[in-house]
Copies of this chain bind each other. A is one copy, B any other.
Amino acid sequence: MTETPRIAGVLSPVVTPFGADLVPDPERFVRHCRWLLSQNVGLAVFGTNSEANSLSVEEKIELLDRLVAAGLDPARMMPGTGCCALPDSVRLTAHAMKLGCGGVLMLPPFYYKGVSDDGLFRSFAEVIERVGEARLRVYLYHIPPVAHVPITTGLVERLLAAYPTQIAGMKDSGGDWSNTQAFLDAFAKSGFDVFAGSETFLLQNMRHGGAGCISATANVHPAPIARLYDTWRAAGADAQQTRLDVIRGVFQKFPMIPALKAAIAHHGRDAGWATVRPPLVALTPAHARALVAELDQTQFAMPGLVGR
């Protein structure tokens, strides 16, 4: 029996489409995921940019089932499965395992703040023990600006010692390169895969032993980001990084999730994509036009999006 290869490269925290009734739209979701795979980008569905915590567990299970039923490769999927409630995290993680997902991206329980590493260790350990699968690959999700519950090097050390098979890596969305570097320095050599939380740090991450990136803008600019991953050792990598930074800079002028959806709505000629679930709010028409106009000035395009 061969082991599934580790996930590496560029993944998209796939934005979740909703109907006018705010119900997730599996058909648009499958189409977008298929397009992302065609652009050489993996599927970190149910991330922060997916409005995952605005979805019920049942909705996430249904969407994941639809992707697999549509023939998309589960080995390319790293669904977010970390919830506030232990049974929810266990249920989602076990379901991802049943479907053969390549890994899971796990937030710490994020309601209580100032919790101890003891408590967080126990949270992750209980999920791993209850799922009880040697195939499980857990990527820890560090996103202090949103979750306000950080993943520390001390916690990773304890988890790696206890679960060397299941603890596979992390996503660092802290926006602080020195933190990413600290994790790379401490754990990359022991096979712990560090994904940068945006393409801003992709080249730097690869040069320091990282595994790739999981980035919001991989929803809209997937192929160029994936190309930098594939060619980061080649001449011209810095110029590629600069070009990626320009595009990301435009999106960062707007609230990120509504902006991603507005770009897909415009370039995919599918206005319904602009819908977000509360508490998020869609871009105003004026802001959506400003985003499109700024992107046009950079020759931004989403090839293959229409008719996918």
Q: Which residues of A contact B (CB under 8 A)?
A: 22, 48, 53-59, 84-88, 91, 108-113, 115-116, 118-120, 122-123, 126, 145-149, 277-281
Contact B112 A279 (CB under 8 A): yes
Contact B111 A146 (CB under 8 A): yes
Which residue of the partner chain B has the closest CB to A87? B56
Contact A111 B278 (CB under 8 A): no
Q: CB-CB < 8 A to A108: which residues of B?
A: 279
A115 to B277, CA, bound (A): 12
Contact A279 B85 (CB under 8 A): no
Cβ of A216 to closest chain B Cβ, rounded Å: 13
Q: CB-CB < 8 A to A123: which residues of B?
A: 278-279
A145 to B116, CA, bound (A): 16
Q: CB within 8 A of A85: which of B55, B111, B115, B149? A: B55
Q: CB within 8 A of A57: which of B53, B55, B56? A: B56
Q: CB-CB < 8 A to A109: which residues of B?
A: 53-54, 278-279
Q: CB-CB < 8 A to A145: which residues of B?
A: 113
Which residue of the partner chain B has the closest CB to A109? B279
Cβ of A162 to closest chain B Cβ, rounded Å: 14
Contact A279 B87 (CB under 8 A): no
Contact B115 A280 (CB under 8 A): yes
Cβ of A18 to closest chain B Cβ, rounded Å: 10
Which residue of the partner chain B has the closest CB to A84? B53
Contact A112 B281 (CB under 8 A): no
Q: CB-CB < 8 A to A120: which residues of B?
A: 278-279
Q: CB-CB < 8 A to A279: which residues of B?
A: 108-109, 112, 115-116, 119-120, 122-123, 149
Q: CB-CB < 8 A to A110: which residues of B?
A: 111
A122 to B146, CA, bound (A): 20
Q: CB-CB < 8 A to A281: which residues of B?
A: 115-116, 118-119, 122
A54 to B119, CA, bound (A): 12
Q: CB-CB < 8 A to A56: which residues of B?
A: 57, 85, 87-88, 91
Cβ of A276 to closest chain B Cβ, rounded Å: 9
| 18 A-B pairs with C-beta separation under 8 A | A48-B111, A53-B84, A54-B111, A56-B85, A56-B87, A59-B85, A59-B87, A86-B277, A108-B279, A109-B278, A109-B279, A110-B111, A112-B280, A113-B145, A115-B280, A119-B281, A122-B281, A148-B148
